[in-house]
A and B are shown apart, each in its own frame.
Chain A
Amino acid sequence: MRLHGKAMWAAALAAVFAAGCGQPGRIDGPAAKLPAGESSPAYLDRVAGGKTVSENDAARGILLLLDGQDPAETFQQRVETLRARGIVDASWDFQADRALTRGKLAYMIWRACKLPGGVTLTLAGPSQRYCLRELQYRGFMAEGTMFTPVSGMEFLAVLTRADHYLQTGQVPEVLGGTGGAP
């Protein structure tokens, strides 16, 4: 009887973990392409002029931040690369031409920069909400809600701060960070 109870608990835990892992999210517009052979300055200049940033462009930006290049040819390849490296949540749905939200950007930057977290992030793991709060606290991102679309200039600014952080370990005050020269 006692063993039976333990088996039930184990089955329940397994079910919880299975539900937590879930199925990978959907990718809409998997074949969507971006300008081939685009240099980092050209990419930044193009994205900066946009009212919003598409998820496809955002994926390229994160890859440029991490590797300095984006060899992927399609949106699906970019998303799968980011999934494999744990930069995005595997359960997220993606849509190539949909505007990126601030919550998703915060999550990706937090993962890409391997930032330490506060109490909630440490105990519960990353979420869009608390990644955004952490990045706001650290001066990476301005105030705002996590569902707001990211503008081109905002994306550029956050990417710049993340690049500073990855190269120097801090974000300079002139860019809104907590201090340090570039």
Chain B
Amino acid sequence: MRFRAVCLVAAWALAAGFAPAQPATTTSAPQAAAGAGQAQQVEVVSVTGAAEKLVPAGGKETWQAIRAGEKLSELTILRTGLRAKVVLRFADRAEMTIDRATKVGIGEFRRQGDLTRARVGLKYGTVQAQVHSAAGPNDFQISTPVATLSVRGTGGQAGFTGDMGMGLMGTHGTWQLAGQGFQHSLTAGESTFFQNLGPGFAAWLQMAMNQRGTQMGDAFGGLSPQEIQNLLNNGAGRGLLGFFGSGSGSLQTPPPPWLNGMPQLGRSYYQSHENGYENGYYLVGE
């Protein structure tokens, strides 16, 4: 039964694209299950709305409602509905709030000496985490299909959606992000959603949006760099005051020559676009 659960989590993680996004320091679910240290349980502090956990029952896995006060072990998968929220406590080291319309898996939660080690996989939705370093050393990581976040004595929100990618907002401390070909630190008050953090990140979408805005606003190729920057900053506006866009078809076309003056923008666009499909985005309208 345990083997089946391990296989289930492994398959889920692979399907979500965890593998390509994992940096060298991360651990896959099967390895996590066999990790060193003593397995701990996660306590459900509160449940608001509809929330379920995947449990083995009668020879097959079934979804059951989660109740406040119950304990969850490693390799538990949780999902929440609209208007729902679940608060989890990782012993004395961390609290995590699973927000509405979210699916997460607890890959590992173990203690070895003073060190507490936790791995949570976020398939879609939003989580808020507060990790307390005062109680002892932590190794707490949240994996999404595009990146892994190391949370040590920090707090903030992380979200992943299939159309815009990943977003992260730090409230205190420093978050460490690692993904395919990039690493980044995020301090309190920063958010990442539209930052250019490298391939595999949501920035590729923003590149396309910027490109679309500038393409349509510079149809005759006569704008100055300042005017192009203004379009990048403000986009196309909306309604009658904006110009009509060409839709996501522009994602399929290479950047125009006048973007050569902004090599970082163009390069990011290409790299991100190439990785967009691999990471499971469904944005592109052909």
Is A104 part of the contact surface with B, judged by Cβ < 8 Å? Answer: no
Q: How far is the CB of A31 from chain B (nearest CB, A)?
A: 26
Is B82 part of the contact surface with A, judged by Cβ < 8 Å? Answer: yes
Q: CB-CB < 8 A to A182: which residues of B?
A: 99-100, 126, 128, 157
> In chain B, what residue has the closest Cβ to A142?
B163
Q: How far is the CA of A120 from the CA of B241 in the complex (A)?
A: 9
> In chain A, what residue has the closest Cβ to B161?
A157
Q: Which of A133, A148, A154 contacts B162 (CB 8 A)?
A: A154
A119-161 contact mask (Cβ, 8 Å, vs B): 1 or 0: 1110000000010011011000111110110011110111110
> In chain B, what residue has the closest Cβ to A102?
B285
Per DSSP, are chain A's interface residues mostly helix, strand or loop, or mixed?
Answer: helix
Q: Which of A120, A142, A148 contacts B205 (CB 8 A)?
A: A142
Q: How far is the CB of B29 from chain A (nearest CB, A)?
A: 18
Q: CB-CB < 8 A to B212: which residues of A?
A: 143
Contact: A44 with B81, CB < 8 Å?
yes
Contact: B248 with A175, CB < 8 Å?
no
Contact: A159 with B124, CB < 8 Å?
no
> Which chain B residues in 55-89 approach chain A with CB under 8 Å?
63, 79-84
A160-182 contact mask (Cβ, 8 Å, vs B): 1 or 0: 10011001000011111000011
Q: CB-CB < 8 A to B169: which residues of A?
A: 172-174
Contact: B80 with A41, CB < 8 Å?
yes
> In chain B, what residue has the closest Cβ to A175?
B159
Q: How large is the interface on B (under 10, 10 to 19, 20 to 34, 35 or more residues)?
A: 35 or more
Is B283 part of the contact surface with A, judged by Cβ < 8 Å? Answer: yes
Contact: B241 with A119, CB < 8 Å?
yes
Q: How far is the CA of A45 from the CA of B84 in the complex (A)?
A: 14
Known contacts A41-B51, A41-B52, A154-B162; decide if A143 and B205 are in contact (CB<8 Å). yes
Is A24 part of the contact surface with B, judged by Cβ < 8 Å? Answer: no
> In chain B, what residue has the closest Cβ to A164?
B100
Contact: A121 with B205, CB < 8 Å?
no
Per DSSP, are chain B's interface residues mostly helix, strand or loop, or mixed?
Answer: mixed
Q: CB-CB < 8 A to B284: which residues of A?
A: 144
> In chain B, what residue has the closest Cβ to A139?
B164
Contact: A174 with B248, CB < 8 Å?
no
> In chain B, what residue has the closest Cβ to A149?
B285
Q: How far is the CA of A137 from the CA of B240 in the complex (A)?
A: 13
Could you say which of B52, B81, B241, B284 has the most chain A C-beta atoms within 10 Å of its C-beta?
B81
> Which chain A residues in 74-116 approach chain B with CB under 8 Å?
102
Could you say which of A121, A136, A176 has the most chain B C-beta atoms within 10 Å of its C-beta?
A176
Is A118 part of the contact surface with B, judged by Cβ < 8 Å? Answer: yes
Contact: A156 with B191, CB < 8 Å?
no
Is B255 part of the contact surface with A, judged by Cβ < 8 Å? Answer: no
Q: How far is the CA of A53 from the CA of B167 in the complex (A)?
A: 24
Is A68 part of the contact surface with B, judged by Cβ < 8 Å? Answer: yes
Is B146 part of the contact surface with A, judged by Cβ < 8 Å? Answer: no
| 13 residue pairs A–B, Cβ–Cβ below 8 Å | A41-B63, A44-B82, A119-B239, A143-B248, A143-B283, A144-B248, A144-B285, A152-B162, A152-B282, A153-B162, A159-B82, A159-B101, A175-B159
Interface residues of A (CB under 8 A from B): 39-45, 48, 51, 64-65, 68, 102, 117-121, 130, 133-134, 136-137, 141-145, 147-148, 151-154, 156-160, 163-164, 167, 172-176, 181-182
Given contacts A48-B124, A141-B163, 20 further A-B contacts (CB under 8 A): A39-B50, A39-B63, A42-B63, A48-B103, A102-B285, A119-B239, A119-B240, A142-B283, A143-B247, A145-B247, A145-B249, A147-B285, A152-B282, A154-B283, A157-B164, A159-B82, A159-B101, A160-B125, A163-B82, A172-B126
